[in-house]
Amino acid sequence: MMPKPLLLALVWILGAATWCENATAQDQPAAQDRPPNVVLILADDLGVFDLGCYGRSDHKTPNLDRLASEGIKHTSAYCGLPICSASRASLLTSKYPARLHLTSYLPGRADAPSQRLLQPQIEPALIPSASTLAEALKQSGYATGIFGKWHLGGGDSAATAQGFDVSIEPPGNGDPLTTGGKNENLITDKAIEFIQANRDKPFFCYVPHHSPHIMLNEQPSKIERNAQAWNPLYAAVIESLDDSIGKLLTAIEQSGQASNTIVIFSSDNGGLHVPEGHPTPATYNGPHRAGKGYLYEGGLRIPLIVRWPGKIAQGRTIDAPVSLLDILPTILDAARIEAGKSVGPVDGQSQFAAWTQNKTPAEDRVFFWHLPHYTNQGSKPSGAVRRGNWKWVEDYEMQTGELFDLSSDPSEQNNLAKTQTEIALQMHQLLVGWKSSIAAQECVPNPRIQPELHAELYLEQNASLIDGRTQTAKQIAESWAPWRSGMNKAIEKQQTKLKKTPSGITLLARDSLPHGKRIRFEPETYKNVVGYWTEVDDWVEWSMQIPKEGTYRVELHCGCGSGNGGSMVDVQIDSPKADSTENLTQTLEWKVRETGHFQNIVIEPLGVLKLQAGAGKLRVKPKTKAAAAVADIREIHLIPVSE
């Protein structure tokens, strides 16, 4: 029989070992009292039908399927726009891409003679003054890191200037045997290092993968293992992405922080359904029409999976429509951060109650999209609205629209615009009113259009109707090869001439000189504006240095509360006169647009002016005041216009 002292010692050792094991597997006590960690994983061009948990049988995604079983799977989640940079900007700011004037990928697709319309000039990067989720969390004590694809600009628009403490941005192509064909292994390893280094404080770990964006590269053995898939190469890339996410989930569980960590998985837009980069299309989007670049469901609808053990019930499905714009306000709610006092008004809606209290999101919520561009996937400038089960898709070229009932026609094949004329008109008017309220950019006619080329690429064939359910990837590649070649050639010369927008002049609210009784700079981060503009005689001024002679486009970043629109304002710009020591004063007139809130900022284009190089001034002076206050101004841009 074991001596009693030795027996007691053995019991103590076994008890201590059990306690240590539990302490490792569960959250540390201090973590229970702190805000939740956030791990936001974003795939690149992964469609809503690419995962097993969304119905795909020829793709191996056990880790993402398990994540869905442990939390919530959204079946009607939408991106901000079905194109890279625009979608990422809306995710991180909860602002419509059209409000940000960032409605394409950066630097954008050049205009071509195949177009009936000329595209608007987008912002060259995410506006530096735009408040991001990372900035809001960092201000509240979070460690913040991005590991993967930023694609929103450099300099003042770089990730480290937009709220991220750590930014690791590997390129999109790596070694399939080591770092991963899309560097998914390297990205994951760096994200894990960040999580391990920040166990003692709340963290925001943003993991925007390059996968499965073209070009695709994978180990031959893995491609062979997926030989029966619709596209074996794509399926192999998806498998590697899923493996890397499984490794990240294991690291979260081993960190002792799993129950206090919100894990979100989504994609920036729908899957690529046309041949591009490779002879065969990458994927198809199940029953949903079209894919990346299109405002049909295949381009807009994305996977969205959320896990938060202890806060979110397992195995739930939410069918009501939601948006990636909802992520920012939802996370701020979860972190007990008031969005209005950290980032100001947002375009998304918090889903915190839907996630944690099983409340159903509103079924009749209205969603808007504005894509005034031609895309590499063959789509034309268009807009869309969803309200309830009704979906309106408007062709800006032809000024026509399609109306679909998604409850009975999720594939958007039956256009009801001619039979449901009243609903079609209402949806069109919703789109027009929304675009006006956010100062959305519009297209203009292309005077150099080649009608025969336009007909060949956009009228004789309709790439939105390519359907992977009825054709193999090889069949699509063969029948659409001439179209792909023509689409590439249409912008071949123009794309090489597409230059990054030259830097111009940015006048910030904090650098202004207010004149008058009440007008002043409001420094709060969620404001950061010239405001308190209640007196018609008050005005504001900036000094500036015009870098070179040329034509400049003048834009105001401004907001105006409900019921206050309509004031008439002069924007006066002093610049040197050519061959003179005097200054020339030019004036642009501004009618203040109501935006719903004084910090609901829009980008207001005022016009273009020819300016000489040298010292100048810009003044904003009201002529009439329509209501209680004129407007708030966050910044003014003078952007060189390419000749």
Query: Per-residue pLDDT tens for 558-569?
Result: 999 999 999 999
Domain that holds residue 544: 505-640
Q: From start to end of 357-410, where are the E strands?
A: 366-371, 382-387, 390-395, 400-405
CATH code, domain carrying 509: 2.60.120.260
Name the pLDDT band for 362 (thresholds 50, 70, 90).
confident
Span 232-289, pLDDT tens digits: 999 999 999 999 999 999 999 999 999 999 999 999 999 999 999 999 999 999 999 9
pTM greater than the 0.85 cutoff = yes
Residue 166 has phi, psi (to 5 degrees) of -125, 135
CB atoms within 10 A of CB 113: 16
Please indicate, yes or no, if residue 239 is contained in any of the structural domains. yes
Higher pLDDT, 25 or 52: 52
Handedness of CA 201, 202, 208, 211 (dihedral sign): positive
Q: Give the domain-ending residue among 326, 361, 396.
A: 361
Long-range contacts of 190-194 (CB under 8 A, 24+ apart): 190/147, 191/39, 191/145, 191/147, 191/248, 192/247, 192/248, 192/251, 194/143, 194/145, 194/147, 194/166
Residue 3 lies in a domain: no
Phi, psi of 238 (to 5 degrees): -65, -40
Q: Are residues 330 and 355 in contact, defined by beta-carbon separation less than 8 angstroms?
A: yes
The residue-averaged pLDDT of 478-500 equals 85
Region 211-235: what's the mean pLDDT?
Answer: 98
pLDDT 10s digits, 104-138:
999 999 999 999 999 999 999 999 999 999 999 99
Question: Among 42, 150, 157, which residue's Cα sits nearest to residue 100?
Answer: 157
pLDDT tens across 145-157, in order? 999 999 999 999 9
Which three-class secondary structure state does DSSP give residue 639?
A: strand
290 falls within a domain? yes
Q: Quick one: pLDDT band at residue 410, thresholds 50, 70, 90? A: very high
- Among residues 304, 334, 361, the one where a domain terminates is 361
In one letter, which amino acid is 489? K
Residue 474 maps to a domain: no
CATH number of domain containing 308: 3.40.720.10
Q: Which amino acid is at 394?
A: E
523 Cβ partners below 8 Å, 6+ apart?
A: 510
Residue 29 binned pLDDT confidence (cut-offs 50, 70, 90) = very low
Tell me what the mean pLDDT of segment 316-327 comes to. 97
HSE, CB side, 13 Å, CA atoms: give it for residue 69.
Answer: 9
What band does 498 get if pLDDT is binned at 50, 70 and 90?
low
Query: Which residue, 582, 89, 440, 83, is CA-closest to 295?
Result: 83
Q: Band the pLDDT of 500: cuts 50, 70, 90.
A: low
Q: What is the DSSP string of 302-322?
A: EEEEEE-TTTS-TTEEE-S-E
Q: Is residue 383 in some structural domain?
A: no
Q: Hunting for tokens 């004129």 — which residue is that? A: 630
Region 366-394: mean pLDDT is 98
The residue-averaged pLDDT of 77-86 equals 98
Side-chain-side CA neighbours of 627 within 13 Å: the count stands at 11
Taking a C-beta distance cutoff of 8 angstroms, is the pair 434, 594 a contact? no
Helices (H) and strands (E) in the chain, counts: 17, 26
Q: How many domains does the chain have?
A: 2
According to DSSP, residue 561 is labeled B
* 586 C-beta neighbours (distance < 10 Å), count: 14
| Alpha carbon distance 536, 518 (integer Å) | 10
The answer to whether residue 431 sits within a structural domain is no
Written as six digits, the tokens of 576 are 């040197």
User: Which pLDDT does position 23 carry in this prediction?
Assistant: 37
**478 domain-assigned:** no
Asked which of 308, 342, 361 is the last residue of a domain, the reply is: 361
**What average pLDDT does range 547-553 have in this prediction?**
94
Two tokens, residue 509: 């609210």
408 domain-assigned: no
pLDDT the model gives residue 249: 98
Q: Are 570 and 540 in contact (CB under 8 A)?
A: no
CA-wise closest residue to 111 among 492, 640, 554, 486: 492
- Asked whether 223 and 233 are in contact (CB, 8 A), the reply is yes
pLDDT band at 160 (very low <50, low <70, confident <90, very high): very high
Q: Which helix (H) or strand (E) is 63 found in, with range?
A: helix 62-69
- Averaged pLDDT score across all residues of the chain: 93
